[in-house]
A and B are shown apart, each in its own frame.
Chain A
């Protein structure tokens, strides 16, 4: 397998800096070697509404950049993931489009040869690394923590494009959440959209969709909603801010980045994960965290 390039979503650098530090820390702790490619640009996702070809061009540029460096792409943003994978599919099926796009890329000395693979970081954990490899590095697990696992749209759909998991009954992300000892509870709106694409467009609709999800998670008894996509994170944080303004935030489960959840189990300093002491308290993470029982050999030696 080729080395992996970490594709950082544009929105993290300003709004979600802890996404960057937490991702770096967890990948480091799990021994996943990756490259940063500073030349990466927008995946094109936000341009789909506006100009589909501009979207495909943006996506293809990143694919070609990774190929030039002989890297595969790993991303933690669902929208980047979905948009890169869909562009790959379009460029595989429409050779006129491929020729056009490559013509535009050639000005930058780039050429998309359709050789690069795109992974979600969850695929890297679930399919490439495997649960066992992660498990043996855990220093602590949660006991009795109830989590509503939120996949996000573009990780699952359209399934004939992304092929991440079964689109109606996905399991991979739940498995990865369960790996931390937390209980991934069934909840009503699990596979629905968080409403983020309507943020700034139709705020009423965005709020209604996001709020319905958080309410459903609360009803299912979840203490927190676990997300992977930065857009979902921004959206849920925004819902919380709006709810707090209206004094309705009580009991609304907060959204936490999967790497924050997993990072604590890997013994990473909460600061690197962007978790404040207050958050640790409020989310119940601190209380639920139990050190992993030492291996029998080590136990024997301490007993002796």
Chain B
């Protein structure tokens, strides 16, 4: 009775959670360019899109993807045979247990009229499927915690899922094991199937079960007379054999049962099988209710993502559906970490300590953002840095076994986050070329320019435009040791030899490009070299020259004194940025909406 209540409760939580989670695909949006639409309109657009796909030749693409990528998981096999074996064990074993064992009343019993959970082949299949899942769990644990580096980052949710699976599986195996040896379980069955037997017959049957089926009885132990066993076998054939396979068919449980045989009587007295049954059942119910709130939800979303992406053309799809698809993709991520292992800039995390540089770690932050949760300024800054410290190499998208179009996701979220007005200094690097090519043409010019101005303003570049009109007397040399961090290769010799011949400035294509613009550059390269000698850091950092430098090395190449002009400029840019980062974000935990 109570278990039925629990089942319906778990199912209700599961259903409500699923509806809530799926509705978020239509309620939330991470793009900044989606035309305004109600969730209902988005839902309608999705239905229209689905209908248009299903009643078109694209249906065959869907079928192919379902078979190849969802059922056989060829994408995963191509990337990593280890993970394929792991995942096939987990998902194959789990599906068999779910459909044939957990839902046996609904499926197995309907399909096979002679179904008995204690008979073969079901005993063997169940045990084998359980073993597969355990193999998968062990492989997952090894991959995450014990394998050779590099290993994927593991969050609490990953460990929790592995733990729930492990509890469900292990409790199932121990439950079966304890039932094999349990005398109480034996008597329960006798009550049902051998109720008409005489005392003597019951003794013979029990002797047979103790001898052959490993029941541990408080009344008798072997060895038994052959006649008793023979009589027992006859009775067994009559009452039990038809629907009870030998326990060794459940080979993992059987092994556990044999190992724990000497505790069997004591445990049976404590109703251990009953306790195990509850543990197993509760773990299953908990797992079921937890599905929509965990990465287990990827049972549904990952196939959906694979199939949707196979038939979606981002250039022709309706913008409403693109917004919905990207929200759904966020739920298709199961944090397997394949993207981060493939990421071209993952190594930089050792020097730029921000886990959100890694693709797999950005997804949870983007989910928060999409749900409209207030993020602290620091989290926005980290997410934004992670989004911009990306070379668009597309490795993450190629590696994702769920087929999530991660590179598109980053591009969409980038503009949304930039609108929060938090300065992003990576915009002042060549990584901006991608934004220039795409957003430069797609956005209106204000929205495109504003983040650049914000970054330049925060870093100080461009404040020094009036220098020529109104020269200030030089201040005392700065005390900051700007070059101290640059390393041995960039010692004072690097610029000390400069005698202000101006060759660097004459060679600079930026200075030569346009006299009007050049007047706005602040200090020019030769002036910067001299300002470094005088340690006039503020003058340098306020010069637009630093950020208009193309890094072409003409200055350095042509310097008669071998001053490393361009590399000095790089050191100064690095320093200007780290000063600005410290200024902007020192202890700032204020929420950003």
Contacts and interface: CB of A to CB of B under 8 A. Distances in A.
A96 interface: yes
Interface string A85-121: 0000010011111000000110111000000000000
A201 B150 contact: no
Interface string A8-20: 0011011100000
Interface in B489-539: 489, 509-510, 513-514, 517
A157 B553 contact: yes
A192 B427 CA distance: 24
Contacts of B290: none
A53 B574 CA distance: 10
Nearest to A202: B548
A270 interface: no
Contact of B553 (A105, A153, A209, A238): A153
Given A13-B398, A50-B425, A238-B437, 10 more contacts: A11-B433, A46-B429, A46-B430, A54-B352, A107-B149, A193-B509, A201-B427, A201-B429, A209-B509, A209-B510
Contact of A54 (B150, B348, B395): B348
A205 B548 contact: yes
Given A10-B344, A58-B347, A48 B551 contact: yes
Given A41-B345, A49-B430, A199-B432, A13 B486 contact: no
A276 interface: no
Contact of B489 (A13, A50, A93, A205): A93
A196 B551 CA distance: 10
Contacts of B514: 205, 208
A279 B432 CA distance: 28
Q: Which of A11, A50, A105 has the most CB of B within 10 A?
A: A50
B237 to A, nearest CB: 61
Nearest to A204: B517
B88 interface: no
Interface of A: 10-11, 13-15, 38, 40-42, 45-54, 57-58, 61, 79, 90, 93-97, 104-105, 107-109, 153-154, 156-159, 167, 192-193, 195-206, 208-209, 212, 231, 234-235, 238, 241
What is the predominant secondary structure among interface residues of chain B facing chain A? helix
A204 B452 CA distance: 13
Contacts of A154: 553
Nearest to A89: B489
Given A50-B429, A154-B553, A192-B552, A41 B488 contact: no
A158 B391 CA distance: 24
B407 interface: yes
B527 to A, nearest CB: 19
A157 B452 CA distance: 28
B150 A58 contact: no
Interface string B397-413: 01000000001000000
B20 to A, nearest CB: 35
Contact of A52 (B432, B550, B570): B570
A52 B552 CA distance: 16
Interface of B: 148-150, 342-348, 350-352, 389, 391-395, 398, 407, 425-437, 440-441, 452, 486-489, 509-510, 513-514, 517, 547-548, 550-554, 556-557, 564, 566, 570-571, 573-574, 577-578
Given A196-B433, A200-B433, A202-B547, A47 B149 contact: no
A157 B507 CA distance: 13
Contact of A200 (B150, B437, B487): B437
A234 B433 contact: yes
Contacts of A14: 392-394, 407
A201 B437 contact: no
A46 B436 contact: no
A11 B570 contact: no
B432 A200 contact: yes
Counting from the closest, the 8 A-B pairs by CB-CB distance are A200-B436, A200-B432, A10-B393, A157-B553, A193-B552, A10-B391, A41-B344, A199-B433
B436 A201 contact: yes
B560 to A, nearest CB: 13
A119 B117 CA distance: 67
Given A58-B345, A61-B347, A49 B573 contact: yes
Given A15-B437, A108-B150, A199-B437, A42 B574 contact: no
Given A58-B347, A157-B553, A238-B437, A93 B488 contact: yes
A115 B453 CA distance: 44
A268 B69 CA distance: 34
Contacts of A97: 487-489
B487 A48 contact: no
Contacts of B435: 200
A11 B392 contact: yes
A209 B513 contact: yes
Contacts of B452: 201
A195 B431 CA distance: 14
A79 B433 CA distance: 14
B557 A109 contact: no
A192 B507 CA distance: 10
Contacts of B425: 50
Contact of A50 (B350, B441, B551, B577): B577
A79 B489 CA distance: 21
Contact of A109 (B148, B489, B513, B566): B148
Contacts of B428: 49, 201
B556 A157 contact: yes
15 contacts: A15-B392, A48-B551, A51-B574, A61-B347, A97-B488, A105-B347, A108-B149, A158-B566, A200-B427, A200-B432, A201-B432, A202-B548, A203-B436, A231-B433, A238-B436
